Amino acid sequence: MSTQRTISFPTQELIDAVGPIPENLKAVLWDLENDPETPLEDIDIAILPYMANPQTLKNVRKAPNVKVVQTQTTGFDGMIDLIGDRADINTAAGVHAAATAEMALGLAIASLRGFPQSVRDQQQGRWNPQQWPGLADRTVGLVGVGGIGEEIRKRLEPFEVNLLRFGSTARTDEHGEVFATSELAARAPEIEVLILIVPLDDSTRHLVDAQLLAKLPDGATVINMARGPVVDTDAIVAEVASGRLNMASDVFDPEPLPAGHPLWQHPNALVIPHNGGNTKAFFPRMVKLLKKQVQAWAAGNDGENLVHRS
């Protein structure tokens, strides 16, 4: 029996960029929507499309012998339910860190310096100087201290903020104190800018609910870079509609945000269509990771970012 394993790539561009692969691996094209030229039962490793919809991702189950699934995203919420014990799951952790951190800072600055209002004023040809809160001297609550959280922390340093970091457990690291996420409600009255970058799981679903939002001070800004359901949508809509809180978000529940959804309507809501990691830096960084993964798989190893073992 042949020891050659087959890897499916979602695009020909990705196959070409990763380049020659070891002889004991074979690259085939499969975007999970159109059937590949190779039999589905021959596919051992499946690299998923970037930002595919859930219905498309379900098609990976059509390949009955897949033993490794590689995402092109950092988050893998829903993937374990999709894959179960059939296959290992590797993520693209690190690939999106810089771009996502960049977006978090961009949203903070845009919201706290009134950029959306200036865009509206420009469209109307109106000169409308105002005083905005700004980021300097604000108390920022950063919820999530993983790879992307660390990149956000580094980028916040030059902005002279008072930073409160929250992780799954209380601890001290080389950058100072990390509070437990369970302490978030108690510290919420201090937090003027709340940045969320946590994985979505049972413990973080609706982590930011009506009770927590009510504890934030008037005029606070909620920035969600995590997953939409980390924030209770009805609760944030109520606070934004009242004008008490501001929101600048890259992710939503539901997603895509439907036409006519109230968050489209409010001037204190800045809506970005899940573009956090989607920059020109993404593709070369993904290729760099996949080149390392291919070598690891050829050697019979797990590769980087293994988050679930079958």
Report pTM.
0.90
Arithmetic mean of pLDDT, 161-184: 97
Q: What is the pLDDT of residue 1?
A: 40
Q: Order across the sheet with 162-167: list the strands.
A: 171-173, 176-180, 162-167, 139-143, 193-196, 221-224, 246-249, 269-271
CA end-to-end distance (rounded Å), the chain: 23
The structure tokens listed for 264 are: 């489209």
Arithmetic mean of pLDDT, 164-180: 97
Q: How confident is the model at residue 76 (pLDDT cuts 50, 70, 90)?
A: confident
| DSSP letters spanning 48-64 | PPTT--HHHHHGGGGST
* Sign, Cα dihedral of 119, 192, 228, 243: negative
CB neighbour class for 73 (10 Å; exposed up to 12, middle 13-18, buried from 19): middle
SS3 sequence of 236-259: HHHHHHHCCCEEEECCCCCCCCCC
Arithmetic mean of pLDDT, 56-84: 89
Residue whose pair of structure tokens reads 């001037």 in the numeric block: 267
Residue 61 has pLDDT above 60, yes or no: yes
| DSSP letters spanning 157-216 | GGG--EEEEEESS-EEETTEEEEEGGGHHHHGGG-SEEEE----STTTTTSB-HHHHHHS
Q: What is the pLDDT of residue 51?
A: 83
Q: How confident is the model at residue 2 (pLDDT cuts 50, 70, 90)?
A: low
d(CA 148, CA 165): 13
Q: Is omega for the bond preceding 256 within 30 degrees of 0, making it cis?
A: yes
Residue whose pair of structure tokens reads 């109520």 in the numeric block: 238
CA distances from 11 to 167, 203, 282 (A): 37, 35, 15
The residues near 53 (Cβ < 8 Å, ≥ 6 apart) are: none
Instruction: Write down the mean pLDDT value for the chain.
Output: 95
The structure tokens listed for 127 are: 């000169």
Q: How confident is the model at residue 54 (pLDDT cuts 50, 70, 90)?
A: confident
pLDDT (tens digit, 9 = 90+) per residue, 30-44?
A: 999 998 989 999 999
Q: How confident is the model at residue 3 (pLDDT cuts 50, 70, 90)?
A: confident
CB 87 within 8 A of CB 310: yes
Task: Specify the DSSP element, H or E, that contains 83.
Answer: helix 79-83
pLDDT (tens digit, 9 = 90+) per residue, 174-232?
A: 999 999 999 999 999 999 999 999 999 999 999 999 999 999 999 999 999 999 999 99
Which residue in 164, 237, 227 sits closest to 194, CA to CA? Answer: 164
